[in-house]
Amino acid sequence: MSKKKSLGHNPLSYSTRAHASFDFITPSYQEEEEVEESVQKEKKVNKVTASYYLEEPLVDKVRNLAEQKDTSYSALVNDLLKDSLRNITSKS
């Protein structure tokens, strides 16, 4: 059997003793820090179950809107309350 010729060279096949340099592999410390920051931002906030008596037409509208946006009812209510609170506090 004959050896197949390589179509290119492998920089890792060189001896590390003489002239080989691995500076083509850069450390990715910055990328690791960015990943850690994004993980911290994605931590979920604790949730509490709360019961409120709302008018039936209002609940129906919110449920219909949740279906249209293809999201859950509770997620939409959460977003609506957050937006409402932001608007109230920005006007004060």
Residue 7 per-residue DSSP state: S
Tell me what percent of the residues of the chain surpass a pLDDT of 70: 54
For 48-57, which contacts have Cβ atoms below 8 Å and span 24 or more sequence positions?
Answer: none
Q: State the CB neighbour count (10 A cutoff) for residue 73.
A: 13
CA distance 21 to 9: 14
Domain coordinates in residue numbering, the chain: 51-92
pLDDT digits (tens, 9 = 90+) for 8-56: 666 666 555 555 555 555 555 555 666 666 666 667 888 899 999 999 9
